[in-house]
């Protein structure tokens, strides 16, 4: 395999992959199809759960661990293998004509970007949430409730306009991590780990391809939490490991995302002091160790109060919720995701640069 070409252009490929993935997302969004990788992952988890669950607490917890590991292997191994095969094929072409090197790097990055795109959906978040606000402006409360029911777990049938806006803004804020930044974190961390192993341990080209499989591993964990990460009798044991792994996986990305949200908020002249105040007071109000951070930061920046009836209230309300808060919160998230990409990439680049100089 031509390790020199891919290693020498490792960072170019990384940047181009990220760039292509977001361009493809802007163009395509998230097509609704049963063949979407996340849909396939979810169905696979459901089927395995039905076959593995025994009803015995300890055994189901153990089987939950095996289930998650197995699904990660099922979906990540073929991606790693496919990248290696493409690398092997292109290396043969390059031996024939060196001029094809640039074209090869661009095409490989585009392919990698296409793979990465299916692990996040920033455009689809806007497509699912902004129309809720538009529907409210038209006065169609029932349609707004119906649209909301597709993106949140709570019963939307009796929610008021205030609570519909709140639930939508909460969804946007929380999705900043599990829908975007956590995926990018795992992609870049996978690349970083692979590069370090390549430098110090084993110069096998496969180590340079850990980024995409790592992003898919996160997507499996997050999807598993959505499918089995509940505390009801059916899922509390077999979904225990998936729920804990989702909490751990989002821990660092969530806090870095909040930092980016605060920077973006400062640029947009939002209430940074209030955001800090809400974070200190309310970030632990939610059962999730991560969701309270992004939702609390958003509530503080906008100067509003976000509430899930009977569960939690976050924020120091300086004004009433408005429909425009939906679009504003989405804008904050988009800018925060872009800043997060740049920040984490620079962090990883500096680490690998320092490692290479040792």
Per residue in 162-206, pLDDT (tens digit) is 999 999 999 999 999 999 999 999 999 999 999 999 999 988 888
CA distances from 216 to 99, 198, 223, 240 (A): 33, 21, 10, 20
Least confident of 79-83, 84-88, 331-335, 342-346: 84-88
Mean pLDDT, all residues of the chain: 93
- The reported pTM is 0.94
Quote the pLDDT of residue 93: 64
For the stretch 272-329, pLDDT in tens is 999 999 999 999 989 889 999 999 999 999 999 999 998 999 999 999 999 999 999 9
Cβ-proximal residues to 243 (8 Å cutoff; 6+ apart), any chain: 225, 228, 229
Quote the pLDDT of residue 26: 94
Average pLDDT over residues 245-263: 97
- Write the DSSP assignment of 222-253 as a string of letters: HHHHHHH---STTTTTTTHHHHHHHHHHHHHH
Q: Of all residues in the chain, what percent carry a pLDDT higher than 70?
A: 97
- The rounded distance, in Å, linking the Cα atoms of 311 and 285 is 9
Quote the pLDDT of residue 96: 58
Res. 102 pLDDT band, cuts 50 70 90: confident
Cβ-proximal residues to 278 (8 Å cutoff; 6+ apart), any chain: 296, 297, 299, 300, 314, 315, 316
Res. 265 pLDDT band, cuts 50 70 90: very high
To the nearest 10 degrees (0 to 180), the angle between helices 57-96 and 101-117 is: 160
- The rounded distance, in Å, linking the Cα atoms of 193 and 211 is 9
For the stretch 107-165, pLDDT in tens is 999 999 999 999 999 999 999 999 999 999 999 999 999 999 999 988 998 899 999 99
Q: Which residue from 237, 253, 229 is spatially nearest to 180, judged by alpha carbons?
A: 253
Q: How many CA atoms lie within 13 A of 192 on its CB side?
A: 19
Burial 63-100 (b: 16+ CB within 10 A, else e): bbeebbeebbeebbeebbeebbebbeebbeebeeeeee
Q: How far is CA 205 from the centre of its chain?
A: 26
Domain that holds residue 162: 3-357
**How many domains are there within the chain?**
1
């Amino acid at each position: 395999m031509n390790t020199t070409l891919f290693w020498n252009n490792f960072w170019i490929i990384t940047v181009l992959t990220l760039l292509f993935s977001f361009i493809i997302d802007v163009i395509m969004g998230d097509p609704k199809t049963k063949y979407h990788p996340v849909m396939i992952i979810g169905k696979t988890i459901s089927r395995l759960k039905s076959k593995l669950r025994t009803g015995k607490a300890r055994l189901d917890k153990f089987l939950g661990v095996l289930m998650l590991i197995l699904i990660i292997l099922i979906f990540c191994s073929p991606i790693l293998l496919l990248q290696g095969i493409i690398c092997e094929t292109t290396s043969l072409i390059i031996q024939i004509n060196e001029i094809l090197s640039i074209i090869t790097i661009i095409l490989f990055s585009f392919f990698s970007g296409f793979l990465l795109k299916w692990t996040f959906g920033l455009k689809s978040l806007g497509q699912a949430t902004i129309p809720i606000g538009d529907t409210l402006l038209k006065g169609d409360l029932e349609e707004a409730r119906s649209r909301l029911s597709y993106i949140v777990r709570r019963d939307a049938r009796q929610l008021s306009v205030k609570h519909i806006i709140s639930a939508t803004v909460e969804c946007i804020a929380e999705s900043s991590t599990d829908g975007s930044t956590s995926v990018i974190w795992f992609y870049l961390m996978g690349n970083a780990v692979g590069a370090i192993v390549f430098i110090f341990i084993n110069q096998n080209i496969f180590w340079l391809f850990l980024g995409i499989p790592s992003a898919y591993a996160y997507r499996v964990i997050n999807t598993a939490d959505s499918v089995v990460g509940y505390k009801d009798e059916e899922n509390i044991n077999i979904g225990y490991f998936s729920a804990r792994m989702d909490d751990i996986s989002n821990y660092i990305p969530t806090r870095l995302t909040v930092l980016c949200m605060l920077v973006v908020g400062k640029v947009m002249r939002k209430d940074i002091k209030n955001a800090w105040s809400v974070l200190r007071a309310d970030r632990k109000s939610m059962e999730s160790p991560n969701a309270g951070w992004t939702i609390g930061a958003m509530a503080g920046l906008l100067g509003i109060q976000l509430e899930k009836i009977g569960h939690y209230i976050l924020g120091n309300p300086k004004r009433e919720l408005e429909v425009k808060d939906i679009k504003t919160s989405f804008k904050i998230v988009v800018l925060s995701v872009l800043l997060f990409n740049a920040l984490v990439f620079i962090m990883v680049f500096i680490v690998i640069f320092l490692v290479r100089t040792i």
